[in-house]
Each structure stands twice: as C-alpha cells, then as structure tokens.
Structure 1
Amino acid sequence: MIPRTLFEHEHDAFRCTVRRFLDEECVPHHEQWEQDHRVPRSIWVRAGELGLLNATTPQAYGGLELDRRFSMIVQEEFGRAATSGLNGFNVHDIVAGYFINFASEAQKQQWLPKMAAGEVITAVAMTEPGTGSDLQAVKTRAVLDGDEYVINGSKTFISNGTNCDLIVVVAKTGNSGKGAQDISLILVEANAPGVAKSRPLRKIGLNAQDTTMLFFEDVRVPKENILGGVAGQGFYQLMKELPWERMSIAIQSLGAAHAVLESTLEYTRGRTVFGKPIFELQNTRFTLAELKAELTIGQSYVDACMLLLLRHELSSAAAAAAKMWCSELYTRVVDKCLQLHGGNGYMLEYPVARHYLDSRVNRIYGGANEIMRELVARTL
C-alpha cells in the first residue's frame, strides 16, 4: 500500500542474511528448542558470526558499528519467522547498550567483544516476584562491605536466565527512601558463589525462550562492578534503554502480525466452504482489509519513530505508544485470523496457533500496557 522508505540497499542485503539464517538454521529446529526450553549456545555463536548480535556495538569492541535499522530488521524477521525463542537476543542487545553508555573502558574491553561473538550471553535481572513493573519497589539489596558489594534477593521472569554468563542486576544500594535515587545496576557473573538459577519457568507460550528465576545469597562482587562507577544511577540508566526495548517489542509485534496476515490470506484462498474459497466471502475480505489497513498505519508510525530514534529524538511517550498500540494490534490480528481458520486455527501445526500462544505476553513485558498508557497520559 504505502512503500517503506526507511531502508537502503545495505539494509536489504542484511535482511536477506537474517532471513536465510532463520529459515535454514532456526525454524527447522524451533520445535525442539521449545521442548528444551532454550536455544542452544551454538546458535548464539552462529548469530555472532553473522553479525546479528549487538550489530550497533562499535567495531573497537567487536561489533559492526551499524545503525539501529539493522537491529530493527533482526526484530522484524524474528517476528516473521515466529522464532520467539530468539527473543533473548534483544535482551542481549539492550545489555550492550548499558555497556556502551555507562561501562568503564576495562568493562567494555572485557565483555563487549565476547557478547558480540555470542561467547558470553547476558541477562537483565530486573523484575521481582512482588514488584512487577514498579522498578522503584525492588527489594534486592546490595550492601557495601569494604571494597565489595554483598547482594541478596531474588528475581523472576529472567530472559536468558539459564544460558546467561553475565547478569545486570537491578538492586538497591541506598537508604534515602527516594526510590529511584537508591537504585544501581551491578554486574554479576552467573557462576559467582551464591548465584542460583531455577528450572525453566512454565509459560503459556514462548516455550523456546529461556526464562528462569535467579537467586542471590550473599553474592560478593567488587564495587567497581557498579555500572557508571557511582551508585544511585541505575534508574536513569534503565530509562535510557527502555525506549529502544519498547520499540523492539512494537517492531517484532508488527513483523509477526504481518506474517499472520500473509499466512491467513494464503489459507483463506485455498480453503473452500459452501463451494468457494473462504476469501471470497465478504466477511473474510472485509476483516482482512481492515487488518491490512491497521498494519499499514502501525508500520508508518513505527517507521517514523525509528527516524526519530536515529536522530536521538524519540521520546519515552512515543515509544510507549508504539509498544502499547502495536502489541495490542498483534493480538487483534491473531485473534481475527485464527477465527478465519476455523478449527484448524486451534491446531499447533498452523502458524496462527503458535502466534496465539506467543503474542499475549507482548502486552505485559517491557512494561505492562497499563504503564504505557500512564506514560502517554502524562503528556496530555
């Protein structure tokens, strides 16, 4: 309908690489990964070889130093291929942003090249069993003891929790009672004494995505492991990366929704009822036309947001609106397309059924959509 003008030739070539990797090396194995509740580390290494991990990381630290449109392509293609097990790649990318913006030179040199190569897998330990989206209410605490911080607490819904080698832990380091000013981000190696991982969490969908709880009991790390070198900067650091995290959810939601619509078009053209293809029924055509229009509008908004992001002008409210609207559009597309499949839509051999299981969480993680509405409401 409206041609996209966001990408250039090198982006199209990169998209071909991503698509080939997914179609040849991921999609055929994704069902097994769902049974294993994780993506094998060999896939992380392969993704690193192809430049799919931390593509925006500077070349000095092992990355390709590309613009965010390359990251956008990765997220779109993950959605298209329904390879939700690879969602942990985005968490890894967000951690790279923390390093690039806030880590010391020694920390960058130590970790970023291994992260870009897929040799070190990272996680962010943010959410706790009793806090949800309220980051200022975290109870995990890091107490300074000489030259070390001692960390105690627990975290849940941790993407890459089983595979991770390095964890960015959100913890309280102060007692001012001012919420955000007491929070810090601390680097913790996953094999450190006192760190424990739960079994993979049982989820409705995203079964191939490695998700666990993490426990910290008297975990000692050097005080230099505070990101930014000064305690109390964690909330600001989190806020700096959250707009991209929310944009990535919007991007992947649209990529997946486009794929669902395409597969439904194919299905309705080939399936007959009352002697003619389902597609020829007016209800079917009107439903699909409505979804196509909504997806085109959503894509235009997301592409406009990406242009602002490239100029470092994207507001938190704009990113929140994109995450909220696109994640809800994704579930609408899936619901209506599943209905057009009839009973077959309830069978996991059809892509729409897998999307039905995987799509629901997009309205929760990255900040629940109720929080997104509040962020938008503050601009009214």
Structure 2
Amino acid sequence: MADQPTTSEVDANDFADMLATTRDFIRNSVVPREQEIVDTDAIPEDIRRALADMGLFGYAIPQRWGGLGLDLAQDVELTMEFGYTSLAIRSLFGTSNGIAGQVLVNYGTDEQKAEWLGRIASGEVIASFALTEDGAGSNPAGLSTQAVRDGDDWVIDGTKRFITNAPSAGLFVLFARTRPADASGPGIAVFLVPADAPGVTVGPKDKKMGQEGAWTAEVSLQGVRVPDSALVGGDVDAGYRAAMTSLARGRVHIGALAVGAAQRVLDESVAYAAVTTQGGQPIGEFQLVQAMLAEMQTGVMAGRALARDAAQQWVTETDRRIAPSVTKLYCTEMAGKVADLGVQVHGGTGYMRGVAVERIYRDIRLLRLYEGTSEIQKLIIGGGLVRRAIKAANGR
C-alpha cells in the first residue's frame, strides 16, 4: 500500500543545490522579516509564493504525485534549516509534507492520491491533520469523534482542538471512531474531509504563547456527510495505523526542527557574547559564559547526529518506533535547555520582545507537546525496549 520510496527520488548533487538554496532563502529572505511575521501573525504572501516556487509544499511527496520525492534523511537536513527561523514557516507546509500528507501517500487509494496530492504539493491546498481532541491527544485511543455509516455515506460528528493550519486548510485528514475498540482493532478510521463541506466549522485562531504566524484553531463537525470514497484506503481499520506511522515519522522531523532552532540560539548567543562588554571586557571571555556556550554546542551537535541517525534508520526500515521517539524526546528537551541558556547569556536583553532568543524561547516550548509529549515518548521508548527483550527471551 505504501507509495513512499525507501530511497530518495532526488540525487545527492541536486539535493545539495536544493539545500543550499533553502539555506540562503531562510537566512537572507526570511530571518530579516521575522519581526514582521510576529507583528502581523502571518506569513507574508511573497514569502509563501517563493516557498511554493521552490517546491517546498511537496518536498516529501513522491514525484509521480507532483512532489520532489525526498526521503526522511533529506527531510531532516531541510528541516534543520527551517528551524533556524520562525517556526511558522515550517508549519505552513510541514503538515502537508508530514503527518497529513504521509497518511495519503502511504494509505490513500490511487484515486485519493490523484485527487489531492498534486494540489497539496503545489501549495494550492493546505492539508491539516485533525486528530487531537479534548480527551485524545498523544494517545489517539481516547478518540470520541464519531463516524456513522448512512447508506453509501458517512456522517461525522465531533470536535477537534489545536488543529494546525485549520484556518487556512483546504482538506482535513480527519480521524473518527467507527466502532468501539475490539479484538480486531481500535475502531478508528481516517477520512478526507474538504474544509468547505457543509457542517464543518473552524473556530477563531488560537491565541498561543508563541509561534506567531502558525495558525491553530478548533474544528467542529456537525452532521458532516462524506462519501465512502473519502475513507482513506477504503478500510475502516487503516486509520489507527496511519496515525501511528505518520506520527512516528513526524517525530524525527520535529527533532530536526528543534536542532535547527537550537543552532540559531547558539549562533545568536556566541555573536552576542563576542561583542557585548561588561567592565570593558567581552562577556564571552568570562569562563561561566563559555561554559554555557559549551553546553549549548554539545547539545546541538548531539541532537544533529541523533536526528540524522534516526532518519537513516527510518529510510532503511531498521527502526521506525524507538528511534523516532528517542529523537523527539532528546532534541526537543535539548532545544528547551539551549533556549534557556541563550536567554541567560543575553541577560536582561534576552527577556525583551524583539530579541531573537526571547521569541525562540517561547516558540520551541510547543515542540515538547505536539506529536506526542515528552512523557509519551518515554513510554514508547521504555515499553518498546521491554517488549523487544521479552521477544528475544522467548526466541521470537
């Protein structure tokens, strides 16, 4: 059923050029406009168009469906560049390439892919991953949104929360319960719900601690009717597998994003320490400041190596469960510590709005929450290790 290639559809030389172009665009065209994004709570339209022209709305979608066909190892390299600036940039197309788009790539029917993936890859349609509810976030088993079959259609009722890109979405990749969990599965299916379907209501944009320009909102569904062809994969039991696979892949991606943000904090802090004086002496010459910079550098380098290793394990199908959770857990926690140290290096200046490390400090706090909290990652890692050991002990 999977359509995602295990190896990239872009060779190393072409990807190197793509990566260099992306880095140049981020650092020279986006970084100088970060405050504009904060002040307007929006991505400027010219930046959005440029991102689409670069193919970034479909970089992880296979070429046969209009994308670039990058594998996760290449995704990680790009994502570390995205993390270097406002996280709203990555949010604009990250879901279409990642947790939402990969559900279609790996579980959709050929007809569903033909209808949606080309439009998603071009940026014409923003795909939104509608899983989270009041009682179902990191653990989808608590899902309460209901889908009831009615003739050849399905009728969906429920409410989703904190849905990324909901205010601008053209398509909701939406998870709903079709039956109570039983021995055959959790009873969760995934549906393709157009944002303009009757009965779909998107609430006002959430007011968040950070990540200005990255829009989230509540999505209400009241008697939303979709045809049977909207059932992803044509299988009511595909939804839970789709959610788990997409989330696991996304955890490597989020880990890389955290590394990029931590690198930016480190660069800002080193530059600040080199030119800011105390008593006529650059603060970077103080040993305790150097110690903080050393901790930051160590965390960034370890996180980068871990994200790259986990991505390679995903591509080779060596480990698609424990390694993604290890990556997300370590890299997002590391980025939080690096951001805190960055503010400390900047002193009072680091607490002021308009200073990069202050914004990043707020932005990256969310990374430890979505796509599975740090606590959930610990359960996945620990439980996976124990199950692996039991399996080995039983000779299976």
Per the shorter chain, which TM-score range?
A: over 0.9
Other-structure match for 1:17: 21
Q: What residue number does 1:47 align with?
A: 51
Number of the residue aligned with 1:268: 273
User: In the alignment, is the contact (CA less than 8 A) between 1:149 and 1:221 conserved in 2?
Assistant: yes
Which residue of structure 2 lines up, in the alignment, with residue 87 of structure 1? Answer: 91
Q: Name the residue aligned to 2:41.
A: 37
Q: Could you tell me how far apart the structure 2 residues matched to 1:88 and 1:312 are? A: 28
* Partner of residue 66 from structure 2, selected from 50, 62, 78: 62
The separation in 2 between residues aligned to 1:70 and 1:44, in whole angstroms, is: 21
Contact 1:127 1:157 in 2 (8 A): yes
Letter in 2 for 1:18: T
Query: Shift of the alpha carbon at 1:66?
Result: 2.8
Q: TM-score normalized by structure 1?
A: 0.93
Match of 1:242 among 242, 247, 250: 247
Instruction: Assess if the C-alpha contact under 8 Å between 2:131 and 2:137 holds in 1.
Output: no
State the SS of the aligned residue for 1:228: helix
> Aligned equivalents of 1:328 and 1:176: distance in 2?
33
The alpha-carbon deviation at position 205 of structure 1 amounts to 0.6
Alpha-carbon separation, structure 2, partners of 1:22 and 1:124: 25
- The question of whether the paired residues in 2 share the 8 Å contact of 1:124 and 1:168 is answered with yes
User: 1:221-260 alignment to 2 at 5 Å?
Assistant: 221-260=226-265
- Report the Cα offset of residue 179 of structure 1: 9.4
Assess, with a 3 A threshold, how the Cα gap between structure 1 residues 40 and 141 changes in structure 2: closer, same or farther: farther
**Per-residue CA distance 1:163-203 (angstroms, 9 max, x = gap):** 00000111001134569531000000000100000110010
Relative to structure 1, the CA distance from residue 139 to residue 51 in structure 2 (aligned partners, 3 Å threshold; closer, same or farther) is: same
Structure 1: give runs of 5+ residues left out of the alignment: 1-6
Counterpart of 1:171 in structure 2 is 176
**Contact kept? 2:202, 2:218, Cα under 8 Å:** yes
Q: Which moved more, 1:32-41 or 1:286-295?
A: 32-41
Correspondent of 1:310 among 315, 332, 347: 315
Contact 2:167 2:215 in 1 (8 A): yes
User: Residues 218-249 of structure 1: CA distance to partner in whole angstroms, max 9, x if unpaired?
Assistant: 00000111111011221111111122110111
| Mapped contact 2:127–2:171 kept (Cα < 8 A) | yes
RMSD of Structure 2 on Structure 1 (CA): 1.9
Contact 1:84/1:358, CA 8 A, preserved across alignment: no
CA shift, 1:276, in A, is: 0.5
Alignment of 1:85-164 (within 5 A): 85-94=89-98, 95-164=100-169
Query: Does residue 323 of the first structure (1) align with residue 328 of the second (2)?
Result: yes
Provide closer, same or farther for how the CA distance between residues 37 and 196 of structure 1 changes in structure 2, counting only shifts above 3 A: farther
Identity score, percent: 30
Conserved 8 A contact 1:272-1:278: yes
Q: What SS class does the counterpart of residue 81 from structure 1 fall into?
A: coil
8 Å Cα contact 2:83-2:90 kept in structure 1: no
User: Does structure 1 conserve the Cα–Cα contact (< 8 Å) formed by 2:67 and 2:118?
Assistant: yes
CA offset at residue 85 of structure 1? Answer: 4.2
For residues 329 and 179 of structure 1, what CA distance do their matches in structure 2 show?
Answer: 39
Q: Is contact 2:125–2:170 with CA below 8 Å preserved after alignment?
A: yes
- Identify if the C-alpha distance between structure 1 residues 65 and 131 changes in structure 2 by more than 3 Å, giving closer, same or farther: closer
The answer as to whether partners of 1:30 and 1:208 remain within 8 angstroms in 2 is no
Which AA in structure 2 matches 1:22?
I
Please state if 1:371 is matched with 2:376: yes
Q: State the TM-score, normalizing by the size of structure 2.
A: 0.90
Contact 1:79-1:252 within 8 A present in 2 as well: yes
Q: Which runs of 5+ in 2 are unaligned?
A: 1-10, 387-396
Residue 217 of structure 2 is aligned with which of 209, 212, 216? 212
Q: CA deviation at 1:65?
A: 2.2
1:38, CA displacement in angstroms?
Answer: 3.7
Change (3 A) 1:34 1:82: closer
Q: Report SS of the residue matched to 1:162.
A: helix
Q: How far apart in 1 are the matches of 2:89 and 2:184?
A: 34
Q: 1:27 aligns with which of 24, 31, 52?
A: 31
The CA distance in 1 between the partners of 2:74 and 2:373, in whole Å, is 26
